[in-house]
Chain A
Amino acid sequence: MATGAGAGMAVREPNTGKLVIEGKLVIEGLGKRYGATTALEPSSLSVAEGEFLTLLGPSGSGKTTLLQLICGLVEASEGRVVIDGRDQSNMPVHQRDIGLVFQHYALFPHLTVAENIAFPLKMRGRPSAEIAGRVASTLDMVHLGHLAGRFPRELSGGQQQRVALARCFVYQPSIILMDEPLGALDKKLREHMQIEIKRLHRESGATIVYVTHDQEEALAMSDRICLMNHAKIEQLGTPREIYERPRTAFAADFIGISNIFRGSWDGNGALDTPHGRFALPRGAHCQSKDAALVIRPENLHLGERDGNAVSGRVSEIVYAGSETRVIAALGDGSPLVLRLGPDDPVPAIDQAIVAGWARDKAVLVA
C-alpha cells in the first residue's frame, strides 16, 4: 500500500521538462463554478494506485463537487481528470472505470438486493452464469447472502449500506469514490462499517477516494487526508502530518483539539498576542505578519515553560479515564484546553492556574 506525501506525484521529467503524471488518478486545475458561486476552485491532486485518500472538510466545502467532477456526473468548468495517464475529461460517466457509493446509498427501490448488485454487470453485458456467480460471492463478502431476494426498503440502514458497497465492489472498478457512506449510521455501526470498508479496500486493492466530515473517521481510515475549506484544498498529507504540522489555523482547528493564539509576528522568533508575547519554535517562518500559534492540549502543562505562559481560571474538569481534560477561561473569557496525564496533579474548579508549553511543541500557522 502506498503511503506518504510522495505518493502519486506529478513530476517534471529531467531532460524534457515535460510533466510526467504519476499516480492512478490525477486531477489538474480542476474547478467548477455555478454562475456566481464557486463550488470548487481550480485544484490539483494526485492519488496513488491502491491509496485510501479522504476528502475532509466542513459542509459546502466542495467535497461532493470534487467527487462528481472525478466521475463525470458534473461537467468541469476547467481542468482535467487523468486516470492511468489517459485524459478522461470528456469521457461520459458510464464509460469511466469508476465506482461511486452515494451518501444515501441510491439503491434502486424497484430491484431486489441481488438485482441491484447484478445491475453493473448486466450493463457490461456479462454472461448470466458469471453474473450469478459474482453476485453470490459478493453478497457473501458483505455477509448478506440470506437477503438476496429482499427489496431495499426491507433492509436496515446498515444492510442497505452494505448492499451499496457490494454493488460498487462487484464490478471491480479500479477507482472507488465514496460520498459520506456512513453519514446516516449510528456511532456503533459506523465503527463496524469503517473496519468493513478497510477490509474491502485491502482485499480489492482498489484506489479509494472517501468523503467525510468526521475528522476521527478520516484519521482512522486514511493513508492521506485532503483537507478542504471554502472550495479549496487547504492541506494535503498523512493524518500524522496534518495533526502535527497543520499549515493553517483552520487545519489545526478542524482536526483534533487546538489552542490557537492569534497575533502578529515580529519577523523574528516571537508572536505578539493579546495574551502576551510568546516564543516561537526555532526556525518558524510565516508569509504574513498576521499569524497564529497552535498548541495541542497534550503539549500544555501547568506552569511556565520556555518563557511561554498564559494564566486563567479553571472552569471545567472532564475526567476521561486515561487522561483528564482541564478547561480554563483566559483573561478575555476564551477557553484553554489542557490534557493532563494520569499522574499529574488535578487543579480544583475556579482555581487560578498558569499554563505553559515548550516552544518547539507549538506550531506557527498562517
Chain B
Amino acid sequence: MSAVAARAAPARRSGFRFGPLWLAVPGLLFLAVFFAWPVAQLLGLSVVDPENGGLSTESYRRIAATDVYLRVLGITFRIAGWTALWSLLIGYPLAYWLARLPDMFRGRMLLFVMVPFWTSYLVKTFAWMIVLGRSGIINSLATGSGLIDQPLPLLHNMFGVMVGMVHAMVPLAVMTMLPVMTGIDRRLVQAAQTLGAAPARAFWLVYFKLSLPGVAAAGLLVFISSLGFFIVPAFLGGRQETMLAQLIITQVQELLNWSFAGALAAMMLAAALVSCWIYDRLFGISTIAGGSAQAGAGRIRDLGLAILGVVGDIAGRAAAVTQRLLGKRICGWLLPGFCWLVIGFLVLPTLLVIPLAFTSSQFLEFPPPGYGIGWFRTYFESPLWIQATIRSFMVAFATALAATAIGGFAALALAHSRTRWSGLIFAFFLAPMIVPRIVIAVGLFYLFARIGLVATDLGLIIGHTVLAIPFTLVTIAAVLKTYDQRLDQAAATLGANRVRTLTGVTIPLVKGGLVAAFLFAFITSFDELTIAIFISGGVKTTLPKQMWDDMILQLNPTLAAVSVVVFVVVTVMLLLAERFRSSSSS
C-alpha cells in the first residue's frame, strides 16, 4: 500500500503535469457527449435511408424537388436577413448613443436593453399578439377613436413576423455592438475634426469604420439566431411565413421522420457555419470575443475606405442641409429622440401585459373593463401550472449549478493558459450559442430517446446546461480578465497550494462574477422552450412549455398572469445578476 503510494508520488511529479487546461476537461467531455455528438449524429441521419439504414441522399433530393420546402428555406433566409438588417439599422444609433453616455448613466440605461434581452421570447410574442391582434390594443384604440373603421391586418403576416423578430433581436444587436463602440477612443473623431473633417464625415471615416467589426458581429449573431426561430413566426406569422425550425418540429414530433429532420437541420447549420466563415474571412472570428480586428488586405481595404469616403462626403452634405433646415437645437435632439423611441418599442409591449393580467374580464380586451387578481388565483390554484412552475425552478437551479461549475473551471483554465489550444477551446465552449438551438434540441432528443432520458428532469438539466455554458463562461471569463493574477502568485509565494489559493483567494474575489453567471444560467434555463418542447415529456411540463401549449390552444388572461410572473422572476434575477457582476468588476 505505502510502497504503491511512494512510487506514485514522484511519477505524478515528473510525467503527469497538472496544467491549467485540464480544468477545462470536464466541460469539454460534457459538450462532446451532449452537444457535438448529438449534432453530428443528427447530421449523419440526414444521409441515412430510414428504411434499410444504407447511405442515401434521398432527403436532400426531396427538399430540392419540393416547392414547399424550397419556399420555406427561402422565407427563412429572407426573414433572417431582413431581421438582421433592421436590427442593425435600429440598434446602431441606440448602441452609439449608449456608448457616448457617461459610464454611470450608461449602466442604468443599459437595463432598458438588458431586460428585453432576457425577457422570455414567449412573453414578448404573447405581448405582440395582444398589441397587434385584430381586436388588439392598436386596432381597438384606432377603431375606438374613429381613426379607421376596419381593423388593420397587423398579425399573421410578414409585418407581424418582422415586428416580433426585430423586437426580439435588437437587444442582441445592441449588446454585441456596444463593447466595440465603447472601446473606440472618442478623441479619434475629434482628431479627424481638427484635421478638417466635418462632423458627419469624421463619423463615417473614423467612428463607423472602427465600429464595423461590432456591426458585422451583431449582424452575424442576429442572422444565425433568426434562422432557428419558431416562436415568433408560429404566433405572429401566417402560413406564408413558416420557417425552417417549424418544419423541423413538425417532422420530428408529428412524422418522426428523423432523416428528413436531419437534412433540414443540416441546412440550417450549414447556413450558420457559412455565415461564420464569411465573417471570419472579413474580420477574424476573435473580434466577437473582443479581440482586435485584423486590418484586411489590399484591394478590399482600399475599396472599403473609398466607399466610406463617398458615404462620408454625402452624409456631410446631407447633415449640413438638415442642420440648416432644422436648426442646431433640434438636430441635437434627433438622436436621443430616436433612441427613446426604440427603448419604448423594446420595453412597452411587455409592460402592456401587466394591466391585462389584472383584468376582471374573461377576455384580453384593452383597456380592461375592471381590475382584480382573479387570473393570478387561477394560476396559483391550477396544479398544472404550479407543477410546471416548480419543475422549471428546480431544473433552472440544477442547470445553474452545473453550468456555473463547468463554465467556471473552463474560464479558469483559459485564463491561465496561453497555448494555441486555448482559442480553439474557447470557440468550442461558445459553439452552443452559434449552433441553432433547434438543431441541438433535435439532436439531444434523438440521443435521449435511446438512453431513456426523454421526459426526465435530468435530460432537461443536461440540455439546458449545454445552452447555459457559453453565458457562464463569458461572464466568469470577463471577471477573471480584470482579476489581478499576481494575487494568486502572491498566495503561492506565501505558501498556499493550488486548492487553497482557489478557495481562499480566487473564489472570494470573483464571487460576484460567479453569482452573476449562476443567475444568467438560471434565467437561460427558466425560460428555455426549444429543448423543453422535445424533452420535457407530455404530462410533466415546464413553465415555458405549458405556456406554449396554452398559446397554441387559445389565448386567455391566465397567460397574461403567467407572463407577468415569468417577467418578474427573470427581471429580478437579472437585476441581481447585474448588481453582483458590477460589484465584482469594480
Q: Give bound CA distance, A99 to B191, whole Å.
A: 9
CB distance A108 to B194 under 8 Å? no
Q: Give bound CA distance, A329 to B305, whole Å.
A: 65
Which residue, B185, B210, B305, has most C-beta atoms of chain A within 10 A?
A: B185
Q: Which of B185, B196, B209, B295 is the one whose CB lies under 8 Å from A123? A: B196
Chain A residues 123 to 172 lying within 8 A of chain B, measured CB to CB, are 123-124, 151, 167, 171
A275 smallest CB distance to B (angstroms): 48
CB-defined interface of B176-195 with A at 8 Å, one 1/0 digit per residue? Answer: 00000000010110111111
A94-B202, A110-B209 as given contacts; A123 in contact with B191, CB under 8 Å:
no
Interface membership of B198, Cβ < 8 A: yes
Neighbouring B residues of A123 by C-beta, 8 Å: 192, 195-197, 201
Neighbouring B residues of A98 by C-beta, 8 Å: 194
Neighbouring A residues of B201 by C-beta, 8 Å: 123
CB distance A167 to B195 under 8 Å? yes
Neighbouring A residues of B309 by C-beta, 8 Å: 122
Interface membership of B206, Cβ < 8 A: yes
CB distance B194 to A93 under 8 Å? yes
CB-defined interface of A83-99 with B at 8 Å, one 1/0 digit per residue? Answer: 00000000011110011
CB distance B295 to A119 under 8 Å? no
Range for the number of chain A residues in contact with chain B: 20 to 34
Q: Give bound CA distance, A92 to B295, whole Å.
A: 32
Neighbouring B residues of A94 by C-beta, 8 Å: 193-199, 202
Neighbouring B residues of A167 by C-beta, 8 Å: 195
Q: Which of A93, A104, A115 is the one whose CB lies under 8 Å from B193? A: A93
Chain B residues 187 to 223 lying within 8 A of chain A, measured CB to CB, are 187-188, 190-199, 201-202, 206, 209-210
A129 smallest CB distance to B (angstroms): 18
Interface membership of A29, Cβ < 8 A: no
Q: Give the size of the chain B interface in residues (CB under 8 angstroms).
A: 21
A102-B187, A123-B201, A151-B295 as given contacts; A108 in contact with B196, CB under 8 Å:
no
CB distance A102 to B191 under 8 Å? yes
A94-B199, A109-B210 as given contacts; A100 in contact with B295, CB under 8 Å:
no
CB distance A106 to B197 under 8 Å? no
A109-B210, A110-B209, A110-B210 as given contacts; A92 in contact with B191, CB under 8 Å:
no
Interface membership of A5, Cβ < 8 A: no
Interface membership of A58, Cβ < 8 A: no
Neighbouring B residues of A106 by C-beta, 8 Å: 185, 187-188, 190-191
Q: Which of A73, A110, A124 is the one whose CB lies under 8 Å from B295? A: A110
Interface membership of A71, Cβ < 8 A: yes
Which residue, B191, B192, B193, B199, has most C-beta atoms of chain A within 10 A?
A: B191
B189 smallest CB distance to A (angstroms): 9
Q: Give bound CA distance, A93 to B206, whole Å.
A: 16
Neighbouring B residues of A171 by C-beta, 8 Å: 195-196
Q: Give bound CA distance, A320 to B99, whole Å.
A: 52
How many contacts between A and B, using CB within 8 angstroms?
64
Chain B residues 77 to 92 lying within 8 A of chain A, measured CB to CB, are none
Q: Give bound CA distance, A99 to B192, whole Å.
A: 11
CB-defined interface of B272-301 with A at 8 Å, one 1/0 digit per residue? Answer: 000000000000000000000001000000
Chain A residues 57 to 99 lying within 8 A of chain B, measured CB to CB, are 71, 73, 92-95, 98-99
A106-B188, A108-B188, A151-B295 as given contacts; A119 in contact with B195, CB under 8 Å:
yes
Q: Give bound CA distance, A109 to B190, whole Å.
A: 14
CB distance A100 to B194 under 8 Å? yes
Which residue, B197, B199, B210, B305, has most C-beta atoms of chain A within 10 A?
A: B197
B283 smallest CB distance to A (angstroms): 12
Neighbouring A residues of B305 by C-beta, 8 Å: 111, 115
Which residue, A110, A111, A124, has most C-beta atoms of chain B within 10 A?
A: A110
CB-defined interface of A166-180 with B at 8 Å, one 1/0 digit per residue? Answer: 010001000000000
Interface membership of A335, Cβ < 8 A: no
Interface membership of A281, Cβ < 8 A: no
Interface membership of A120, Cβ < 8 A: yes
CB distance A124 to B196 under 8 Å? yes
The closest CB in chain B to the CB of A122 belongs to B309
Chain B residues 337 to 356 lying within 8 A of chain A, measured CB to CB, are none
The closest CB in chain B to the CB of A111 belongs to B305
Neighbouring B residues of A93 by C-beta, 8 Å: 190, 193-194, 199
Neighbouring A residues of B197 by C-beta, 8 Å: 94, 119, 123
Q: Give bound CA distance, A94 to B193, whole Å.
A: 5
Q: Give bound CA distance, A120 to B205, whole Å.
A: 12
CB distance A73 to B190 under 8 Å? yes
Chain A residues 293 to 345 lying within 8 A of chain B, measured CB to CB, are none
Neighbouring B residues of A92 by C-beta, 8 Å: 193, 198-199
A168 smallest CB distance to B (angstroms): 8
A332 smallest CB distance to B (angstroms): 41
Chain B residues 202 to 248 lying within 8 A of chain A, measured CB to CB, are 202, 206, 209-210
CB distance B195 to A120 under 8 Å? yes
Neighbouring B residues of A115 by C-beta, 8 Å: 305
B295 smallest CB distance to A (angstroms): 6
Neighbouring B residues of A122 by C-beta, 8 Å: 309
The closest CB in chain B to the CB of A167 belongs to B195
Neighbouring B residues of A119 by C-beta, 8 Å: 192, 195, 197
Q: Give bound CA distance, A95 to B201, whole Å.
A: 13
Neighbouring A residues of B206 by C-beta, 8 Å: 108, 110
Neighbouring B residues of A102 by C-beta, 8 Å: 187, 190-191
Q: Give bound CA distance, A115 to B188, whole Å.
A: 14
Q: Give bound CA distance, A323 to B319, whole Å.
A: 64
CB-defined interface of B462-505 with A at 8 Å, one 1/0 digit per residue? Answer: 00000000000000000000000000000000000000000000
Neighbouring B residues of A99 by C-beta, 8 Å: 194-195
Which residue, B187, B195, B199, has most C-beta atoms of chain A within 10 A?
A: B195
Neighbouring B residues of A151 by C-beta, 8 Å: 295
Q: Give bound CA distance, A104 to B188, whole Å.
A: 10
Neighbouring A residues of B195 by C-beta, 8 Å: 94, 99, 119-120, 123, 167, 171
Neighbouring B residues of A104 by C-beta, 8 Å: 185, 187
Neighbouring A residues of B295 by C-beta, 8 Å: 110, 151
The closest CB in chain A to the CB of B201 belongs to A123
Q: Give bound CA distance, A71 to B195, whole Å.
A: 11
Q: Give bound CA distance, A111 to B192, whole Å.
A: 12
The closest CB in chain B to the CB of A68 belongs to B190
Neighbouring B residues of A95 by C-beta, 8 Å: 196
Neighbouring A residues of B194 by C-beta, 8 Å: 71, 73, 93-94, 98-100
B52 smallest CB distance to A (angstroms): 58
Neighbouring A residues of B209 by C-beta, 8 Å: 110
A97 smallest CB distance to B (angstroms): 9
Q: Give bound CA distance, A104 to B194, whole Å.
A: 15
A93 smallest CB distance to B (angstroms): 4
Known pairs A110-B295, A123-B197. 18 more at Cβ < 8 A?
A: A93-B199, A94-B195, A94-B197, A94-B199, A99-B195, A100-B191, A100-B194, A102-B187, A106-B188, A106-B191, A108-B188, A108-B191, A108-B206, A119-B197, A122-B309, A123-B195, A124-B196, A171-B195
The 9 closest A-B pairs by CB, nearest first: A123-B196, A120-B195, A106-B191, A100-B194, A93-B193, A106-B187, A123-B197, A94-B193, A94-B196
Q: List 6 A-B contacts (CB under 8 A).
A: A95-B196, A104-B185, A106-B187, A109-B188, A119-B197, A123-B201
